[in-house]
Amino acid sequence: MTAQSQHSVEFAYAVGSSVYFRYLTEADAVGNWHHWFNSPDVTQNLAAQYWVNTPDGQLEYLQILRRSKERLAVAVVDRKTHEHIGIGSLSKLDMLNRRAEMSLVIGSAAHRSGIHALESLAMLTEIGLVRLNLHKLVATGLARSEGGLNLTKLLGYVQTGCFREHAFVGGAWMDGVHLEILQREWLKSHRRPKTIGWSSNEQHAG
């Protein structure tokens, strides 16, 4: 398989109107993915903000993802340019209790607050609650990450809790926010993606 074919919509895990999801590669690990998690602009609201990220470390993490049955991770790609713009995941997958934690990191600043981010969140929610038939998805974030939290709430996630003084950021303690959505709530939501397509290849995402 050529590098070009690996990065085409044809080999996508899921396809929306502005983004598509594909499996993560070694080229991602030593490229944008590695750089994003060294950038204070990206990591300022993440627990990983204090640790140096190396290409070797990112490659090692990619191998862990590929072996894991508790996390589904995908590359988020701009559909027009095929630029790798972020990472989406469903982690802490609990198939007995049918729940998982949804997260999205958009490394490209130009795509962080618009339709690309919103559609990516909606597609991850659709994958979790419809394709994987989970009962509930959870999303968390620092209270100061208002943009990301508001986009998540726009999809119907409800704030059900607050982790007081949960992270030490910029010399001060910051609260964490806990959001949830149930499958039955999502199934009747007008925010469900209408143009999402599934790959016939069923590539393992990450």
The pair of three-digit structure tokens given for residue 186, joined into one six-digit string:
């999502």
| 3-class SS of residue 115 | helix
pLDDT, mean of residues 169-179: 89
| 3-class SS of residue 139 | strand
Distance between CA atoms of residues 82 and 73, nearest Å: 18
What tens digit of pLDDT does each residue of 146-173 get? 888 999 999 999 999 999 998 888 788 9
90 in Cβ contact with 139 (< 8 Å):
no
The region of weakest confidence among 9-23, 24-38, 39-53, 186-200 is: 39-53
104 in Cβ contact with 117 (< 8 Å):
yes
Please report which helix (H) or strand (E) contains residue 104, including its range.
Answer: strand 99-106
Distance between CA atoms of residues 197 and 77, nearest Å: 14
pLDDT reported for residue 37: 84
Using 50, 70 and 90 to split pLDDT, how confident is the model at 205?
very low
pLDDT reported for residue 203: 40
The pair of three-digit structure tokens given for residue 7, joined into one six-digit string:
């990065």
What tens digit of pLDDT does each residue of 63-86 get? 999 999 999 999 999 999 999 999
Distance between CA atoms of residues 123 and 15, nearest Å: 9
- Full set of structural domains in the chain with CATH: 14-198 (3.40.630.30)
